[in-house]
Structure 1
Amino acid sequence: MSLSPEESDMQPHTQKEYEQYLRAIKGPPVMVILRTHLLTEYYLERALRAGLRRGDKLVDSATLSYSQKLAVVEAIDKFPDHVISSLRNLNKIRNRCAHEFERQVSVSDIDLIGGPYGKEYTAFKKRFPKSVRALLNHVVGTITAAMSGCVEALEEQ
């Protein structure tokens, strides 16, 4: 069962982005982490294209890692610090999931990703303190909504 945007406090910017979110949160939590990582990498690449004069060259020619793309997007300085921190932590959890065969996603993993959102995440966690699925869906929704808003703002400049 997935949470609606209202239940997860997500405000999608377009129907397409909401549908991407819904696809990302399907399946076991490890798959959700991997899909979310891919979805956020898509947003990072859009941000690079929009935020740099020739960002297309960087995205198309340089074989940058996720963390390198994130560092460049951070330098563009159009994403809030808590989004950057959350993405950095998502990358850590994704790497653990991808490199540990029997890896399970825990509430503490999700706390690491959601923690940079501070009181917003804490308030949601009080409603679902032990539900990996609800917390993960909320964090994915929050991150993707924030990223889509930042990317749209960059693309409009």
Structure 2
Amino acid sequence: MAHQAQPYMMKVDWFSIKNELRETDWQGEFEGSSVDEKYNTIISTTLKIARKHVPPRKACYKATIPRERKIIMRKRSKLNSRIKLCKNDHDRRGMQDKVKRLEEQLKKSHRNERARDETSAVKAIQKNYKYFFKYARNKPQLKQLLDLSSPQIGKSSVTHNRSARH
């Protein structure tokens, strides 16, 4: 884990941080303060200096392709390269059919993954409803059904109940 942090740590301007911490008038900052106020002063001053000299980290969300799909894509790639080199039309058509079957397998894999995600989101409604609504927010069809884009979620039922009382 330490080897991953090294490039990021190299970008931090440690010299400037150290100098600014030394140049801070701590006596003046602490004068007439309680212990809690002194602690908060140390924390806030250090954070200000760190924000100034430490570059923000880049979000690194590496998309993971399932192993099964990687294998299918590798096979497809190999077949496509063999098709380019193949001179026999009969063999070429056979390889193109195999490529079509591999593409169908890829589509099936994607459908299965979406079905698994949907099933887990539906199962999580009672225990973890936030997970379901996060899933629903990313699906346009569900978004329309649930009307998640509207800022008045739930207000229509409130107005309906009021009109029923009168």
Q: Which has the larger radius of gyration?
A: 2
Q: Could you say which structure has the greater relative contact order, defined with CA pairs below 8 angstroms and 6 or more residues apart? A: 1
TM-score where L is the length of structure 2: 0.25
TM-score where L is the length of structure 1: 0.26
